[in-house]
Amino acid sequence: MTSPLTPVLSDTWDADQSWTLETYRAHGGYGALAKALDLEPAGIIQTVKDSGLRGRGGAGFPTGMKWGFLPPDDGGPRYLVVNADESEPGTCKDIPLMMAAPHSLIEGVAITSYAIGCTHAFIYVRGEVVHVYRRLLNAVQEAYDAGLLGKNALGEGVDLDVTVHAGAGAYICGEETALLDSLEGRRGQPRLKPPFPAVAGLYARPTVVNNVESIASVPAIVERGADWFTSMGTEKSAGFGLFSLSGHVVRPGQYEAPLGITLRELLDMAGGVRPGHELKFWTPGGSSTPLFTAEHLDVPLDYESVGAAGSMLGTRALQIFDDSVCVVRAVARWTEFYAHESCGKCTPCREGTFWLEQVLARIENGTGVPEDLDVLLDVCENILGRAFCALGDGATSPITSSVQLFREEYEAHITGGGCPFDRAAAELFERKRPAVAGSEVEG
Amino acid sequence: MTDTTNKGTGGGGEEAAVVPQVTFQIDGIETSVPKGTLVIRAAEEIGIAIPRFCDHPLLEPVGACRQCLVEVSAPDRSGAVRPMPKPQPSCTLVATDGMQVSTQRTSPVAEKAQRGMLELLLINHPLDCPVCDKGGECPLQNQSMANGAATSRYLDVKRTFPKPIAVSTQILLDRERCVLCQRCTRFSDEIAGNPFIDLQKRGARQQIGRFDEDVLDFERPGTSSGDQPVGAAHTDVSGAPFASYYSGNTVQICPVGALTSAAYRFRSRPFDLVSTPAVAEHDSCGSAIRVDHRRDTVMRRLAGDDPVVNEEWITDKDRFAFTWQTAPDRLTTPLVRDRGEDGSRGELRPASWSEALEAAAEGLARARQAGGVGVLPGGRLTIEDSFAYAKFARVALGTNDVDHRARSHSAEEADFLAHAVAGRGIDVTFSDLEAAPSVLLVGLEAEEEGGVTFLRLRKGATKNDVRVFSIASHRSSGLDRMNGTLLAAAPGTEPEWLDQIAAGGTDPAELADVSEALRGAGSVVLVGERLAAVPGAYSAVLRLVERTGARLAWIPRRIGERAGVETGTLPNLLPGGRPVVDPAARAEVAALWGGDELPADAGRSTGEILDALWVGQLGGVLAGGFEPEDLPDPAHARRALEQAGFVVALDVRSSEVTERADVVLPVAPPAEKDGSYWNWEGRVRTFGASLPSDAMPDHRVLDALADELDVELGTASLLDVREELGRLTPWAGERVAAPTVAPSEPEPVEPGTAVLASWRLQLDVARLQDGERFLAGTAKRPVARISPVTAVAVGVADGEQVTVSTDRGSLTLPVAVTAMVDHVVWVPLRSPGSQVHETLGVAPGAVVRVAAAAGEGEA
Amino acid sequence: MTTEAYSRGPACSYDDETYRRLADDAAQIVARYPEPRSALLPMLHLVQAEESYVSRDGIAFCAERLGLTPAQVSAVATFYTQYKRHPNGRYTVGVCTNTLCAVMGGDTIFDELSEHLDVGHDQTTEDGKITLERVECNAACDFAPVVMVNWEFFDNQNPETAKRLADSLRLGEDVTPTRGASTVATFQEVSRVLAGFPDGRADEGVGASGATLAGLRLARENDWRAPEEAAPSDVDAAPGEGDVPPRTGGAQSSAESKESDK
């Protein structure tokens, strides 16, 4: 039986000056790279395939298989692009990882680059986290200075360059093809697929796009083997992952555990839901994953089980909302987010989120009409599976799942002419004075 | 000559490479299409219309509007046909073997998806169809009427924008009507290559536009409330008038009424218009257009759909410049000028046709006696009109003094045309340009002087990696957008480059490059008419194509030039490419015309005709569509016309020639007559009159005039002319020999002087653009281009004013310091403030003085 | 692009010294990428570092250096929320009002800050010190409610701490992010960092703290570890440079863990 928590990525986070090369090396860092450079690239890809590592950015696509989609070497460049644009509401694992241990990512980048034949890798980090960007730039420089990157870094005269690129504020750039367009200096709008990035990605060259946590997991897999990795987690959801608890929970934070752990177990570790309150709803993997309730406390948090229960494992962003929270308000706000972040390329997402946002705002402020719920659901139906990329689908998840779970609460807003909840009750602090006008429901 | 009529694309585009087929089903109907075909296209083929907005067959698929969703099942690896979980956009979906597609006709899922999409598109669309230009021909309106709901479930606030935005003087944008299909931006980027508009902002506020501070809510310079900007930017470049010669196409392909043209806005309703297919008169491409008129007035022109020539695109000039045909100075009746006993000229007065024809015939007969009559038919004629001029000169006036070249020209050019162009039929085609391994441009700025040629070349360059080389003074924007390579040459030195390429020279690097590239099978050399001003250039071109095996095409600016070459409005050529000096050739034509022997002496060129008029060697002239300003020395041309014993002018509008004419005979503009143009490919482009008209075409007027001279010209009816043209067999005899003119030694370039480089911009002050102020607003700002070295020598900096002068006059323009040949100054040939011929009295290649403008800062 | 590094078009009216300096920076940015256009996002951060927002000159500069039209540059500049179209305050104070932070108090923090500063979303105080913004989820949900100052984390805020923070900023006092550099740099300085020019402050601040370490602390307390290697590796791994200390980790046998999982 593995431990309830299995710190691997987070294992060095409490070290002094954890972000430096020196600290990282003192904990065995870059040992995996040295080992990898003695292996055949194909062998590394096979190891990652054997490990069953699945993309930690939300979609859960097998990482080794993604690498295997690259066409045979044609002599031209091929690229690794790390998706560090962590922006999904609730998701907060890659940012602390890069802040505390950027070298675990860079070592993963070096190994992956070697495995896939890449000599120029990119880390696309969202621009709204300047200190993380500093740490990454610094770590890359340290690695260059130590000969881990740059000239001959991959041995036998093969160089590796790493460029850390700051985005500029656009959730959609977490979508891998939008990220590539953004990295090429364009508006971050998703590209038509096919061709897939593996065939024609960055600069129309074969490209692997992986999440930070996926790449950072590679050194440990290379060093300790696929069997070690599969010794954790479940058969189809192998290994460990960062589970991020946030919201109305006593000790929110990062919990690195084998996949398949349940929210009940995690809540136990985190001290439970805020005292005096009950769990009302939660997201298993960020705002784009359909809501769960207390009924789902024992669903194993692996790809298959969460899927079977009607949601998605996503990024393991567990946002906990207790009974003080109005689900209509929560969903309306998420919908505003999707409308704000819709890139505008396709009709259903652009116009649909614009519409949904307004209907939800009306319901929340008490001017909804009975037909609104049906319209909401039907508009969601017209977006889901019709939009260009997954953003549109994600926008519908909180709405359809919450109407399914809390229809009466929506109806109460419509029939009652407003929100029956006290916002202050959900806040973590005592208000010193009554909230200013505008933050409360009028009338 | 009838053999030259359109038979297809010819050349590379036509080769029937075997494309594998795929077989699949749409709504249960089995169909086979070439591999790679999109489902939406395959559906069209079998008559199933799938609604769409963003899809356009000539643009890359984008899948943005999602209107064309269909339900799809496809075989998996084991061959079992499995439904795809989501409906698929048929505009991006490539058909594969065994696929089963269900459209809205058979699939409730597809039907609901499409209905849902339409509803979403309409929530923010204004209900302003009654005042929208697109109303009546609007895909969105049609969709809504056919498939939309009668009422909307949308209860909230529609997105609105202040309206409209002037993207340019010509293009207006009503953002609230836009469905963001990106056809316009994709056209600008993919086809024209000048992304003057792009998507701005994001999400529901996303919109089409250019960089405009007010629209996009950027701080305006100088109004900063916080830190002051480093400096205020120029107001006229950054985001302001950004010129594109193709912007009108965006209006035509907009599937809603978001983009409209200032010229046509609120002028008509589509269902009140009568449409006629026609051919554009503005360049030698002969683009297919559609002329829309209401109550005998042309309201607008659109691009026609002709895959072999202009595909579905035309230049803004072809689209918007048509009001010249109905300008206030349009001639409506014949005019006659009475002369005093002493020969002094009186005023022109209206006259009847019979009086005018009689006066013209008498005068011409006298003039013929008094040394002869020259014929100057301009360069814009239809084949039929051109043929009538050629025949009239020989049969009615007994002369070979005929030349349609109203521009710089040379005897070397006439020989070149007779040797290499006349009677070749369709040789190099537009399609060939897209498939050629390399194309060399000499004396030709494709975007300025042959708009659609540029688009096809650019398509070749961007899609098929056609390598484009250009011998020119500098790298133009057009060359840039074709990823082209400049072979930098001062005007006059073109023969050097040509001979070095012919010799396979390898130094400098771009010479090695072009030498090798041009020897690739199917490579093409495109030659412009400007080479006539460079002695030895046409000769060098012929040496080059002989040595490299490259194919050759001559691309003049005007639509009538090729017809003139083919029908013999040149002093050395009879119809069908027959050399005047060849007795057998003359005999063949004389036999065709059933008359006397034809004049045997080689005739005078345009310049020689004018010289002869001036000194009284010729007694008169017959001119049509001819303007002194087109010649390198307009003053000389005017003097010659004034000195001429007798002048007959056939023209659509009053002109400098009609002002000096003794008899003026009005003729029909293109919209009011039937005819055919001969484009540079050698393709015959036939069109009918768009408007009913009493105006007579030139061939009919000439027939009547001949009649007065007791000559039966036989060109009264179009059918007669065509019948006669049809009987003209191709010339099988000896061609005129290739010219072998030696290049002239370049004039020394003293300090304070430079060699003049110049060509005409597509939009300038030409008479065929008169009356279109919106179009004029999109013309390029005239500048003088000099190299950094020359700028230092002259003592001017970028943006300052420079004066270019000759003894005749001077012109002053802002300097654009450009990477180009040193000691060369480039200015536009005939733009506002830069009328080279008129002001300087010289042609490109001349040495001119260049100096910093006096009184800098005032301009 | 021409070979002359500082050939400039007429559209950008930066003075020569400024233009030259920025063109140097831009050249360094361009050199990081295989294709020049990739430099556009960092270059927009760069021109924002110059003037605190993307001005007409900034648009023209980027267009000129990269051979794009102004429309293409503004297309990008208006897509991303970090690019400002008006002069920005010395500090951007961004209150997360995405669902989780909003519910936990972000809405109230924003409202009170807005009243306190007398500015609304994307507005700047009269003294030019603070531009107030509602920001979307900034990946610090376990520290909710979160306020960002010039994109540095101020975790676990409440209306009072946020107002004190704003007051300090307006008074010119140094403020220290919860997780970040030891003081908050100005908006323009931070923009320059985002253009990829380090300011030497990467070693300031904590590596991880608070919620980030919640799980790790619990693991340490309970001696919970990831398993050791599942099986001895066939390949003799080349040792790293020098003596590599063993990874920290537990002592559970691989056989045990395998059995339990399969």
Domain boundaries, chain C: 16-77, 91-194
Mean pLDDT of chain C: 88
Determine, yes or no, domain membership for B294. yes
Q: Please identify among residues 126-165 of chain C the ones whose CB lies closer than 8 Å to any CB of chain B.
A: 128
* pLDDT confidence band for B16 (50 / 70 / 90): low
Residues B395 and B436 in one domain: no
CATH code, domain carrying B515: 3.40.228.10
Rounded alpha-carbon distances, angstroms, from residue B282 to A28, B25, B317, B666: 75, 46, 7, 20
Counting as contact any 3 or more CB pairs under 8 A, the partners of C are A, B
Mean pLDDT of chain A: 96
Q: Distance from CA of residue A180 to its chain's centroid?
A: 17
Residue B168 has pLDDT above 90, yes or no: no
Q: Do the Cβ atoms of A381 and B116 come within 8 Å?
A: yes
* pLDDT confidence band for C259 (50 / 70 / 90): very low
Element (H, E) at B788: helix B788-794
The pLDDT value given to residue B594: 86
Residue A280 has pLDDT above 80, yes or no: yes
**Distance from C-alpha of B445 to C-alpha of B780, rounded to nearest angstrom:** 15
Pairwise pLDDT comparison (A436 vs B173), residue with the higher score:
B173
Residue A15's Cβ-side half-sphere holds a number of Cα atoms within 13 Å equal to 22
Task: Specify the pairing of strand B830-831 against strand B345-350.
Answer: unpaired
Residue C234 has pLDDT above 60, yes or no: no
Domain hosting B105: range is: 20-123
Per-residue pLDDT, averaged over B678-702, amounts to: 97
Determine, yes or no, domain membership for B245. yes
* pLDDT confidence band for C239 (50 / 70 / 90): very low
Mean pLDDT of chain B: 92
- pLDDT per position as a tens digit, B330-369: 999 999 998 777 777 889 999 999 999 999 999 999 999 9
* pLDDT confidence band for B25 (50 / 70 / 90): very high
- pLDDT per position as a tens digit, B224-237: 333 322 222 223 33
CATH architecture entry for A242-322: Roll (3.10)
Cβ-based neighbours of B498, under 8 Å, separated by 6 or more: B442, B471, B537, B540, B541, B543, B544
Rounded alpha-carbon distances, angstroms, from residue B110 to A61, A353, A392, A427, B83: 29, 21, 18, 46, 13
- Rg of chain C over all Cα atoms, to the nearest angstrom: 24
* pLDDT confidence band for C246 (50 / 70 / 90): very low
* pLDDT confidence band for C258 (50 / 70 / 90): very low
* pLDDT confidence band for A199 (50 / 70 / 90): very high
- The answer, for C9 touching chain B at a CB cutoff of 8 Å, is yes
Residues B575 and B534 in one domain: no
Q: Among B207, B218, B236, B786, which would you mutate to test the C interface (most chain C Cβ atoms within 10 Å of its Cβ)?
A: B218
* pLDDT confidence band for B220 (50 / 70 / 90): confident
The pLDDT value given to residue C230: 58
Determine, yes or no, domain membership for B351. no
Q: Across the interface, which of C54, C71, C73 has its CB nearest the CB of B197?
A: C71
Domains A9-230 and A327-426 agree in fold? no
Q: Do the Cβ atoms of B234 and C10 come within 8 Å?
A: yes
User: Of all residues in chain C, what percent carry a pLDDT higher than 70?
Assistant: 84
Q: Measuring CA to CA, which residue among B88, B174, B165 is closest to residue B138?
A: B174
Rounded alpha-carbon distances, angstroms, from residue B355 to A46, A405, B388, B661, B705: 98, 95, 22, 15, 11
Which of 3.30.460.10, 1.20.1530.20, 1.20.1440.230, 3.30.70.20 would CATH assign to domain A327-426?
Answer: 1.20.1440.230
Q: Across the interface, which of A344, A348, A386 has its CB nearest the CB of B204?
A: A344
Per-residue pLDDT, averaged over B812-838, amounts to: 94
The tally of domains found in chain B comes to 5
Residue B278 backbone dihedrals phi, psi, to 5 degrees:
-150, -175
Q: Measuring CA to CA, which residue among C33, C28, C41 is closest to residue A81?
A: C33
Q: Across the interface, which of A90, A128, A203 has its CB nearest the CB of C34?
A: A203
**Burial readout C106-116 (b: 16 or more C-beta within 10 A, e: otherwise):** bbbbbbbbbee
Q: Strand order of the sheet with strand B646-651?
A: B345-350, B335-339, B663-666, B646-651, B620-624, B373-376
ipTM over 0.90: yes
Residues B500 and B545 in one domain: yes
Per-residue pLDDT, averaged over A346-361, amounts to: 98
Q: Do the Cβ atoms of B238 and C11 come within 8 Å?
A: yes
Residues B692 and B709 in one domain: yes
- The answer, for B124 touching chain A at a CB cutoff of 8 Å, is yes
The pLDDT value given to residue B13: 42
For C138, nearest residue in chain A (alpha carbons): A87
Which of 3.40.50.11540, 3.90.1150.10, 3.40.190.10, 3.10.420.10 would CATH assign to domain A9-230?
Answer: 3.40.50.11540
B788–chain C nearest CA distance, Å? 10
Cβ-based neighbours of B737, under 8 Å, separated by 6 or more: B415, B419
The pLDDT value given to residue C257: 37
The angle that helices B698-708 and B383-391 make with each other, rounded to 10 degrees, is: 20
Q: Among B227, B236, B242, B786, which would you mutate to test the C interface (most chain C Cβ atoms within 10 Å of its Cβ)?
A: B227
The pLDDT value given to residue C253: 36
User: Of all residues in chain A, what percent carry a pLDDT higher than 70?
Assistant: 97
- The answer, for C75 touching chain B at a CB cutoff of 8 Å, is yes
Q: Do the Cβ atoms of C59 and B211 come within 8 Å?
A: yes
The residue type found at C239 is P
User: Of all residues in chain B, what percent carry a pLDDT higher than 90?
Assistant: 85
Last residue of a domain, one of B556, B578, B594: B556
B166–chain C nearest CA distance, Å? 14
Q: With DSSP H G I counted as helix, E B as strand and the rest as coil, what are the percentages for chain A, rounded to 5?
A: 45, 15, 40
CATH code, domain carrying B839: 2.40.40.20
Rounded alpha-carbon distances, angstroms, from residue C119 to B329, C115, C128: 63, 7, 11
Q: Do the Cβ atoms of C224 and A256 come within 8 Å?
A: no
Kindly report the pTM of this predicted structure: 0.93
The pLDDT value given to residue A434: 53
The pLDDT value given to residue A442: 41
Last residue of a domain, one of B303, B326, B349: B326
Taking one residue from A and the other from C, the number of pairs with CB-CB distance under 8 angstroms is 376
Place of tokens 């110049």: B758
- pLDDT per position as a tens digit, B401-415: 999 999 999 999 999
- C108 vs A contacts (CB less than 8 Å): 423-424, 427, 431, 435, 439
Q: How many CB atoms lie within 10 A of CB B152?
A: 12
- pLDDT per position as a tens digit, B702-739: 999 999 999 999 999 999 999 999 999 889 999 999 99
Determine, yes or no, domain membership for B739. no
The pLDDT value given to residue B222: 59
**Distance from C-alpha of A406 to C-alpha of B34, rounded to nearest angstrom:** 52
Residues B167 and B314 in one domain: yes
For residue B664, give both structure tokens: 């003026």
Q: Across the interface, which of B117, B119, B203 has its CB nearest the CB of A342?
A: B203
Element (H, E) at C181: none
Cβ-based neighbours of B380, under 8 Å, separated by 6 or more: B281, B558, B559, B560, B625
Q: Strand order of the sheet with strand C91-96?
A: C123-124, C130-135, C91-96, C147-149, C152-154
The pLDDT value given to residue B179: 97
Which of 3.40.50.1370, 3.40.30.10, 3.40.190.10, 3.60.21.10 would CATH assign to domain C91-194?
Answer: 3.40.30.10
Residue C237 has pLDDT above 50, yes or no: no
CATH architecture entry for C16-77: Orthogonal Bundle (1.10)
Q: Do the Cβ atoms of A348 and B206 come within 8 Å?
A: no
* pLDDT confidence band for B208 (50 / 70 / 90): very high
Determine, yes or no, domain membership for B748. no
Domain boundaries, chain A: 9-230, 242-322, 327-426
